[in-house]
Each structure stands twice: as C-alpha cells, then as structure tokens.
Amino acid sequence: MAKKINWAEAIQPLLKKYKNKKHPLEYQDIYQLIVLVILSAQTNDKLINTIAPNLFEAFPDMASLSRADVELLKPYISKVIGNQKKAEYLVKLGQLVKTNKNIPLTMDGLTALPGIGRKSANVIMREAKVSPEGVAVDLHVLRVAPRLGMTKSADPKVVEKDIMNLVAQKDWGETGMALSFLGRETCRPTDPHHHECVLNTVCAYYAGLKTKKK
C-alpha cells in the first residue's frame, strides 16, 4: 500500500524555495498584471513581455485603457494569439473598471471581468498578496500535480479542488505558483530533473521509476 502523504507538511520545502518569486510576466503594478494575464492565454509569457513596454507606454493605466477601442489596441498586440478577442476583452475591462483604484482583488470580483477565469484570478491575487481563495492551476500544474500524486485528474477544476483539500488555505496562493515554477524548471514534460527536485522523497512518479529499476 502506498504511504499516505501529509501534503500540508510535504509541500513546505517547495513553498520555501519559491516564496515571493515574482510571476514570469514582467509587470510593474496590478493593472499591468491583469492586462498581461489576459493577453497571455495560449501565448508564451516571453512574447507577452516583449510587447508590454510599447503597450503600456500607450496605455499606462486603467483610465487610459478605458478610452481605447479595439482598432486602437490591436496594433500593439498583433503578435498575440486571439488578438481580436483579447482586444475586445481589454476594451471592456477598461470600460468596466475605469481606474486603477477600482481593480477588484477577490475571486468573485476578478472572475466577473472579461478574459479572467479562476486560474488568472488566483495568479493576480497571489501577486497582489491578498488572502487566497483558490489554487492557480496552469498547464505546468496539470502535469506536476498528478505526477506527485496530489490528484488523479486532468480537469483543472478537479485538480484545484484536490490540491485545496490537501494544503492549508494560507498556502493556497503560493502552492499553485510553486508547482508551476517546479514544472517550468525541474519537472519538465520530458527528462524531468528528479535529483534536483525538493519533493522527490514524496513524488509518486519518482517512486514508481525507482521501483521499476529494482
């Protein structure tokens, strides 16, 4: 029988490793982060970072975004996948929020905005250092969490709930991003760096590999 893992404790070395590490999107304030998060869906963070300076020079805050229209925005985000729809999201975002001080920082408030789902809201809340209401589940977490044995699902909603049930609520915000960083740097899709992983002693995938070698 597989040993039951106390994930609330087992996850701590990973949280310590990545605590306060800033998200790969290069933002200066929460307004910029929200815009970049919306643009980054299905698009590489590195590409988003390259277009950010010109975009924010033209639209430095929510007030300036509120005066934009789709045709005005599109030249700045033409390299982004789904730029038409994302331009529409940003225009509506500006019209709804109007100023930086009106940016909501709750799950309900953020997910009511165009182009923002639970994953994005969790990322924004983590970066804003507000009390977490969930766990950010991106493509990296969808790979890493089942490998570790934290979930058996490939459904982001189920994976989020499973992790929330395993980890203390105070750690939800850091857990999602820490698992994502682990997936980006160590637990790669192919040739994961098991010996560098701070969770290799509790990882179901690694344990299975060691068993096969015996």
pLDDT digits (tens, 9 = 90+) for 162-210: 999 999 999 999 999 999 999 999 999 999 999 999 999 999 999 988 7
Give residue 1's pLDDT band: very low, low, confident or very high (50, 70, 90): very low
**Among the three residues 96, 127, 158, which one is the final residue of a domain in this structure?**
127
Contact 182, 144 (CB under 8 A): yes
The mean pLDDT value for 125-148 works out to 97
3-state helix, strand, coil in the chain (%, to 5): 60, 0, 40
Both 81 and 166 in one domain: the answer is: no
Q: Tell me: do 103 and 155 sit in the same domain.
A: no
Is the separation of the CB atoms in 37 and 123 below 8 Å?
A: yes
pLDDT in tens, 7-38: 999 999 999 999 989 999 999 999 999 999 99
Residues 74 and 117 in one domain: yes
Count of H helices and E strands in the chain? Answer: 13, 0
Encode pLDDT of 30-56 as tens digits.
999 999 999 999 899 999 999 999 999
| Domain harbouring 59, CATH code | 1.10.340.30
pLDDT at residue 60 tops 50: yes
My answer on whether 75 and 101 are in the same domain is: yes
Domain range spanning residue 144? 7-19+134-213
Q: Is residue 2 part of a domain?
A: no
Residues 67 and 143 in one domain: no
* Per-residue confidence band for 214, with pLDDT thresholds at 50, 70 and 90: low
Number of structural domains in the chain? 2
144 domain-assigned: yes
Same domain, 98 and 170: no
Residue that is last in its domain, among 127, 153, 184: 127
Percentage with pLDDT > 70 across the chain = 98
Q: Are residues 121 and 45 in the same domain?
A: yes
Q: Are residues 149 and 194 in the same domain?
A: yes
On the question of pLDDT at 74 being above 70, the answer is yes
pLDDT of 87 > 80? The answer is yes
* pLDDT given at position 213: 66
| Domain at 188, CATH number | 1.10.1670.10
Structure confidence at residue 139 (pLDDT):
94
- Pair 107, 149 in one domain: no
The DSSP secondary-structure symbol of 167 reads S
Give me 117's structure tokens: 């789902």
Kindly report the three-state secondary structure assignment for every residue of 31-63: HHHHHHHHHHCCCCHHHHHHHHHHHHHHCCCHH
At which of 127, 149, 175 does a domain end?
Answer: 127
